């Protein structure tokens, strides 16, 4: 799996970019949200990726924000939502608007996206509401680094053999007691003392 690419932006288009990484040009499909965050061509950038492998193709998608990639992955996990529809969703609405619509059960907002019908919008909300709240939290925490740090710390604690539920309780307490966003290492160290 290709996690991210760092290189020179060679070509910039509302639907794709080409990035040169040490002489190899990578073609990445992007959303309008990512397009709006990109700098001018010929500048050095770092972009998160998602590789979709099918029998007849390998397609690379690019995201300027890690949170947008996570939302894309959640969207394509829903039956009836493919990569192109997920990209259309992220191009039609800001990722934060999509996340808020899913979290609040706003079928109308999800259905307002071209290509999304009533049944599909209900399925998206039904399948993803709990996941969105778990991954991104509630309210305006969508872009907060603390949620990413929390998820990475929980993943590390699970790898170390701790049960997710008990680890999550401890990590939630650490996050609540912190005055600023703690690093992944800090969360893990404090959690190990309390588990």
Grade residue 144 by pLDDT with cuts at 50, 70 and 90: very low
Does the domain at 145-194 match CATH 1.10.8? Answer given as yes
Q: Are strands 4-12 and 16-21 parallel, antiparallel or unpaired?
A: antiparallel
Average pLDDT in the chain: 86
Q: For residue 146, what pLDDT is reported?
A: 56
Q: For the chain, give every domain's residue range.
A: 4-63, 66-136, 145-194
Does the domain at 66-136 match CATH 1.10.150.20? Answer given as yes
What distance, in Å, lies between the first and last C-alpha atoms of the chain?
32
Question: To which H or E segment does residue 129 belong?
Answer: helix 118-136
Does the domain at 4-63 match CATH 2.40.50.140? Answer given as yes
Each residue of 35-61: pLDDT tens digit? Answer: 999 877 777 899 999 999 999 999 999
Residue 19 backbone phi and psi in degrees, to 5 = -120, 130
How many angstroms separate the Cα of 54 from the Cα of each of 17, 80, 81?
Answer: 21, 16, 15
């Amino acid at each position: 799996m290709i996690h991210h690419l760092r290189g020179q932006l060679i070509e910039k288009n509302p639907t794709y970019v080409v990035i040169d990484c040490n002489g190899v040009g990578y073609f990445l499909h992007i959303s309008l949200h990512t397009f709006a965050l990109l700098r001018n061509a010929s500048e050095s950038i770092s972009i998160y990726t998602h590789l979709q492998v099918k029998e007849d193709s390998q397609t690379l998608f690019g995201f300027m924000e890690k949170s947008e990639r996570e939302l894309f992955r959640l969207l394509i996990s829903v039956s009836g939502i493919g990569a192109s529809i997920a990209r259309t969703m992220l191009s039609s609405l800001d990722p934060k608007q999509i996340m808020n619509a899913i979290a609040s059960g706003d079928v109308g907002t999800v259905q307002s996206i071209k290509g999304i019908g009533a049944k599909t919008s209900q399925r998206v909300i039904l399948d993803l509401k709990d996941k969105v709240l778990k991954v991104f939290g509630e309210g305006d925490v969508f872009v907060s680094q603390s949620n990413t740090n929390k998820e990475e710390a929980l993943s590390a604690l699970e790898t170390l053999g701790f049960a997710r539920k008990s680890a999550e309780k401890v990590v939630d307490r650490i996050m609540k007691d912190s005055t600023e966003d703690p690093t992944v290492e800090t969360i893990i160290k404090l959690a190990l003392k309390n588990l």
